[in-house]
A and B are shown apart, each in its own frame.
Chain A
Amino acid sequence: DIQMTQSPSTLSASEGDRVTITCRASQSISRWLAWYQQKPGKAPKVLIYKASSLEGGVPSRFSGSGSGTEFTLTISSLQPDDFATYYCQQYDRYPYTFGQGTKLEIK
């Protein structure tokens, strides 16, 4: 199975900050990577697919990059609504796997 490792596990930041979350795959997944945002008690919501494509309706302050084994999610200027947990997911091959999550907290 492909292992997905996110860093950091927890990130403390302030409104207006630029933040970056990294996701590494244990083998190349080309660009078959998605990023999700999850708030407590709610279902995840897709932000980015195919490494860098922004899902419709997602604010442009979210961006994704990378290919192969290393990927990043960047939020250019944190808004209050962005404090949540973020997951990456590979869909290059079965079984699909998620990273362990990055909790973005208010500093």
Chain B
Amino acid sequence: QVQLVESGGGVVQPGRSLRLSCSASGFTFSSYGMHWVRQAPGKGLEWVAIISNDGSNTYSGDSVKGRFTISRDNSMNTVYLHMNSLRPEDTAVYYCAKDPTSATRDGHYLDYWGQGTLVTVSS
């Protein structure tokens, strides 16, 4: 069965960096696009970024563009979210999620989600 397990969350000071990881199993990781979505405490869902199956195409949301970078290592079945210049408003649970397609040109919906990892940006 598909499993996505996020890690790397924690408390970080404003302006610092953090790298989230998402380890995948139960499917052919290199065939599918992957997403990151976040949810601030008590708030709704915000789509963050997508990466195609081979890593050749990425896209990020406006609020993180230029600060966050999505990447993947298909040999490790892992997708990453590199977060720089963190702000208090980046505080959220971060979910990784699988796309049902390769997302080579465009992504689709999110068919499997991990359990999330909490990032708290505070001094």
A interface, CB within 8 angstroms of B: 1, 32, 34, 36, 38, 42-46, 49, 55, 87, 89, 91, 94-101
Let me know if B95 and A55 touch, CB within 8 A. Answer: no
Let me know if B114 and A95 touch, CB within 8 A. Answer: no
Complex interface: chain A residues within 8 A of B108 (CB): 32, 49, 91
Whole-angstrom CA separation of A89 from B95 in the bound complex: 15
Between A and B, 6 residue pairs with Cβ closer than 8 Å are: A36-B45, A44-B113, A49-B108, A91-B107, A96-B107, A97-B47
Cβ contact of B109, chosen from A43, A49, A94, cutoff 8 A: A49
Whole-angstrom CA separation of A74 from B114 in the bound complex: 26
Let me know if A87 and B45 touch, CB within 8 A. Answer: yes
Count the B residues whose beta carbon is within 8 Å of the partner chain — how many? 23
Let me know if A95 and B62 touch, CB within 8 A. Answer: yes
Report the minimal beta-carbon distance from B23 to chain A, rounded to whole angstroms: 15
Let me know if B110 and A100 touch, CB within 8 A. Answer: no
Query: Taking chain A's interface residues, is the majority helix, strand, or loop, or is none over half, making it mixed?
Result: loop
Let me know if B44 and A43 touch, CB within 8 A. Answer: no
Known pairs A1-B62, A43-B95, A43-B115; A91 contacts B109 (CB<8 A): yes
Known pairs A1-B62, A94-B59; A46 contacts B47 (CB<8 A): no
Known pairs A1-B62, A43-B95, A43-B116; A98 contacts B44 (CB<8 A): yes
The 3 residue pairs across chains A and B that have the minimum distance between CB atoms: A34-B109, A43-B113, A96-B47
Binary flags per residue of B77-114, CB closer than 8 Å to A gives 1, else 0: 00000000000000000010000100000111111011
